Amino acid sequence: MTVRGLRPLSILSVVLVAVGFAMAFLYAPLDTDQGFRQKIFYLHVPIGIVALIGFVIGGIHGLRYLRGGGSEADLRSYVHIHQSQILAVSVLITGAIWGKTAWGAWWRWDEPFLVSFLIVFLLYCTYQPLRLSIDDPRRQARAASVFAVVAGAFVPINFAVVRMADAYLHPRTLSNAADGSMPTPVLVTFLTCLVAISVLYATLVRYEVLSKSTTFRLRALERRAGGDDLIPRRSAVPQA
Amino acid sequence: MTLPSVLAQVDTIPEDSGGPYVIAAYVVFLVMVVVYLAIMAQRLQRIAKTADALEARLDALQPGSGAAPSPSATAPAEPVAITPKAPATPAAPATPAGDPAA
């Protein structure tokens, strides 16, 4: 992957997000139950899915590091988790906004999906402090990879357990899709938004990986030049 | 799909069905993406400054480099590989292990 490959990916993500959001407002029909407020579904749910998948991918890269994948695997694990944390914040905010307009409350503690997602988010909030607490880069990478693997395995288990629970207040739109009851325009719009958010996520991940790997290369050049590092060293960011 | 038709849709956003909340949700997401990109741009500027400082340092190390322009100033830009060039065996750390600066 080079800088050259980022430009078409960036353009593609902007186009897809624009198309997806336009379809959400202009193509998808109004929901008979929730009306216009259901439009948040096309933003909130794809972000949530991509965030959870990102956490799992972070765990996979963590496993790669533990199996001898090198610092590149640790870097990718870190970036995937970092990006997923940003998306998770978006999920919580958009979910709260949707809850406010649909239920009249920003948050409900009796809603399993909300609380379980909050638990996952809070779990990953400990990732950077864990890294920062370990000075030695290799020990830091190893501990962070173990965390990424365990937490990454927790994500699908947590999701499956919540889905199997009996009491629901949250709309189970995806299960409706499995039943074939989701209207085609809604399904097409949802899948378009899902692809758009996924491509945007992949673009941002590559930007961050490129930024950090370039920093590493500069640092290595500084060492070869025999001078002090110009970049502050103590960080939760993986060290090359 | 023309701009007037889009604006006509915006004019018909129903306030009684959470219209402002829906717009707020989308705006929040877009703002977060823009803020993230701004932070990335700031980091990129920092990287560029570091590269400039490094270039100046390397120029100072080379004898008689003051008269000649640096190669990077004249060479065409090449794509940057994303993966750091990792050695086959782990390189010796520049500072002792456990050092916060390592």
Q: How many domains does chain A have?
A: 1
Residue A240 lies in a domain: no
Is the minimum CB–CB distance between A209 and chain B shorter than 8 Å? yes
Chain A residue with Cα closest to B87 = A70
pLDDT digits (tens, 9 = 90+) for A30-50: 877 788 888 899 999 999 999
B29, pLDDT greater than 50 = yes
Reported ipTM: the value is 0.81
Residue A90's pLDDT is 93
Judge whether residue A182 has pLDDT over 80: no
- pLDDT over threshold 60, residue B49: yes
Give residue A230's pLDDT.
Answer: 52
pLDDT band at B100 (very low <50, low <70, confident <90, very high): very low
Q: Do B18 and A102 touch (CB under 8 A)?
A: yes
**Would residue A234 count as lying in a domain?**
no
Buried b (16+ CB within 10 A) or exposed e, A60-85: ebbbbbbeebebbbbbbbbbbbbbbb
CA distance A135 to chain B (A): 5
- pLDDT tens digit string along B51-73? 888 888 888 877 665 544 444 44
Residue numbers in A near B100 (CB within 8 A): 135, 233-234
* Chain B interface disruption, residue of A39, A132, A206, A234, most B CBs within 10 A: A39
CATH number where A150 lies? 1.20.120
Taking the whole predicted model, whether its pTM rises above 0.80 is answered as no
Q: What percent of chain A has pLDDT over 70?
A: 87
**Of residues A106, A103, A109, A96, the one with CA closest to residue A48:** A96
* Chain B contact present for A224, CB below 8 A: no
**Where in the sequence is the domain holding A193, given as residue range(s)?**
6-30+38-229
